[in-house]
Amino acid sequence: MKIELRDIHKHFGSLRANDGVTLSVAPGTIHGLLGENGAGKSTLMKILNGFIAADSGEILLDGKPVTMTSPAQAVTRGVGMLYQDPLDFSALTVLDNFVLGSPGGLVPDRGRARRELRELLNRFDFTLDPDTHVSDLSIGERQQLEISRLLWLGARTLVLDEPTTAISAQQRDKLFATLRKLAQEGMSVIFVSHKLEEVEALCDEVTVLNRGRVTGQARQPYATDKLVQMMFGQNIPRLKRQPQPVQAGGPQVQLDRVTVSDWRLELQDLRLDILPGEVIGLAGLEGSGQLLLLQTCCGLRAPSAGRVRLAGVDMTGQSYHRLQKVGVAYMPAGRLEEGLIAGMTLTEHVALAEHKGSFFVNWSGAAGSTAKSVEHFHIKGRPASRIEELSGGNQQRTLLALLPPQLKLLLMEHPTRGLDIESVEYIWKLLLERTKQGTAIIFLSSDLEELLDRSDRILVFFGGQVAAPLDARRVNVEQLGELIGGKGFTEGGAHEPHN
């Protein structure tokens, strides 16, 4: 199905999210929609999917003008959209979610639905159990379920909004193989992303947005520097962390023979000293134990053995709020689920973060602080913007803006996930400025280059085992990838790879 968007305009107050955007997608192709955070990509696709209405402009499907009033109507017209966070119900099973929105009325034919679900799963080599609860699935598996459901409902065009933000490399490869197969079968695919390498690897052609406007289009083979110019108006250098002078004093963080566990695995006898200003990267497949370490260091999980010390003070078993008060901050991966509050504005978030326990809120001071944060962190939004109205990348920048100015230890899950390359460089510049003040940083990431470029040392986790700390300057992507895959791990752990 051919998709055409003509002269689309959408304003949110004074913000021009889409400013005369025209886009054409041919059937049987994968079309990339590329742009930095807040460029207007998601807004444009939500207009195509009927989630929001354009102020003006026209949508054509196979040359015929249509009006999209809801995502349900869009699916009936053949347009299905996979959002950054899949729209499903975690308490229900895979099959229950699959039949949602089906034309079978209140009592759909579940036997037929089960058979057709299995056919779709087999067609794309998806390994989902129809009777598994969605709460037990990874983000990648939830995407597979949503793709299957949209195809079952008759989608002939598939829109994917930043689909690789929270999935593993293996799940990304599976997703890309699925999209290529769909395009070969004649479907049109729109792949929304800010990741140049993914667009270059997957898409037949690309349209670039910047500040709500189309700044250029290109086809394979791509010139990366030209795409960057269209995205940002300039080339963005990627800077590596340089060796830092050792700061005076003892370790900022000490893990002394720590043992900690959850219902899946146990980290045993973990020993680690982290110096003031040091950056420690945590690598490994999802669920290998990295999160246990972060939660232990911030008081969200108590160790069953061993001691945790902060600047020489024993903080073992202390609460999260107690550790916050002495200079520990934790930035979770779940922006709206754990870090921010849907329905509240930017100013209200700042007021909450700065609140000192007084009965009254200093709204004037909060408004001033918010304006400074919006400018300093390049947040594309207004102080009165509700947090859910911001793009995922701007929500991430808001989380960083809410961190206290002085910290002993900063713990982060995927600190730049969902950010474009310009934002990544800017955010790490701000983070590394904190290390000069003595803040130790521990961060979890699935981006191997980020781990190598930003860390002083890297810990690799595999099934609850932890490799000896790696000097980030002495290891490469291939060696790190092998360790993450389990190569070199034994019953006693793993050793640092040799160059």
Token reading at 280: 């420690």
Segment 335-381, tens digit of pLDDT: 777 889 888 999 999 988 887 766 778 888 888 889 998 888 888 88
Q: Looking at residue 167, what is its pLDDT?
A: 77
195 — pLDDT class (breaks 50, 70, 90): confident
Q: Domain map of the chain by residue range?
A: 3-232, 237-327+404-499, 340-403
Could you tell me the CA-to-CA distances from 200 to 34, 226, 236, 383, 477 in Å, in that order? 10, 12, 17, 36, 20
Contact predicate 276/438, CB 8 Å: yes
Contact predicate 473/243, CB 8 Å: yes
| Mean pLDDT value of segment 116-125 | 93
Segment 1-27, tens digit of pLDDT: 999 999 999 998 777 889 999 999 999
Radius of gyration from C-alpha coordinates of the chain: 24
Query: In the predicted model, is pLDDT for residue 457 greater than 90?
Result: yes
> Comparing 3-232 with 237-327+404-499, is the CATH topology the same?
yes
The larger pLDDT score, comparing residue 95 to residue 496, is at 95
Arithmetic mean of pLDDT over the chain: 87
Q: Looking at residue 496, what is its pLDDT?
A: 46
Q: Looking at residue 492, what is its pLDDT?
A: 46
Q: Looking at residue 179, what is its pLDDT?
A: 96
Query: In the predicted model, is pLDDT for residue 246 greater than 60?
Result: no
The larger pLDDT score, comparing residue 238 to residue 442, is at 442
280 — pLDDT class (breaks 50, 70, 90): very high
Segment 421-446, tens digit of pLDDT: 788 888 888 898 899 889 999 999 88
The larger pLDDT score, comparing residue 180 to residue 224, is at 180
Q: Looking at residue 69, what is its pLDDT?
A: 93
Could you tell me the CA-to-CA distances from 121 to 35, 38, 128, 141 in Å, in that order? 32, 34, 7, 11
Segment 384-409, tens digit of pLDDT: 888 988 877 788 889 888 988 889 99
| Mean pLDDT value of segment 153-159 | 94
Q: Which are the contacts of 420, defined by CB distance < 8 A and separation ≥ 6?
A: 35, 36, 37, 194, 231, 393
**Other beta carbons less than 10 A from residue 386's beta carbon:** 14
What CATH class is the domain 237-327+404-499? alpha beta
Question: pTM of the predicted model, to two decimals?
Answer: 0.65
245 — pLDDT class (breaks 50, 70, 90): low
Q: Looking at residue 100, what is its pLDDT?
A: 83
Q: Looking at residue 347, what is its pLDDT?
A: 92
154 — pLDDT class (breaks 50, 70, 90): very high
Q: Looking at residue 14, what is its pLDDT?
A: 72
Query: In the predicted model, is pLDDT for residue 458 greater than 90?
Result: yes
| Mean pLDDT value of segment 257-285 | 89
Please state which CATH number belongs to domain 3-232.
3.40.50.300
| Mean pLDDT value of segment 202-230 | 90
CA distance 481 to 451: 11
3-state DSSP of the chain: CCEEEEEEEEEECCEEEEEEEEEEECCCCEEEEECCCCCCHHHHHHHHCCCCCCCEEEEEECCEEECCCCHHHHHHCCEEEECCCCCCCCCCEHHHHHCCCCCCCCCCCHHHHHHHHHHHHHHCCCCCCCCCEHHHCCHHHHHHHHHHHHHHCCCCEEEEECCCCCCCHHHHHHHHHHHHHHHHCCCEEEEEECCHHHHHHHCCEEEEEECCEEEEEEECCCCHHHHHHHHHCCCCCCCCCCCCCCCCCCCCEEEEEEEEECCCCEEEEEEEEECCCCEEEEEECCCCCHHHHHHHHCCCCCCCEEEEEECCEECCCCCHHHHHHCCEEEECCCHHHHHCCCCCEHHHHHHHHHCCCCCCCCHHHHHHHHHHHHHHCCCCCCCCCEHHHCCHHHHHHHHHHCCCCCCCEEEEECCCCCCCHHHHHHHHHHHHHHHHCCCEEEEECCCHHHHHHHCCEEEEEECCEECCCEEHHHCCHHHHHHHHCCCCCECCECCCCCC
104 — pLDDT class (breaks 50, 70, 90): low
The larger pLDDT score, comparing residue 362 to residue 485, is at 362
Question: 92-106, 290-304, 485-499 — which one is most confidently predicted on average?
Answer: 290-304
Query: In the predicted model, is pLDDT for residue 225 greater than 50?
Result: yes
Contact predicate 299/316, CB 8 Å: no
Cα 181 vs. chain centroid, distance in angstroms?
Answer: 25
Percent of the chain with pLDDT over 90: 48
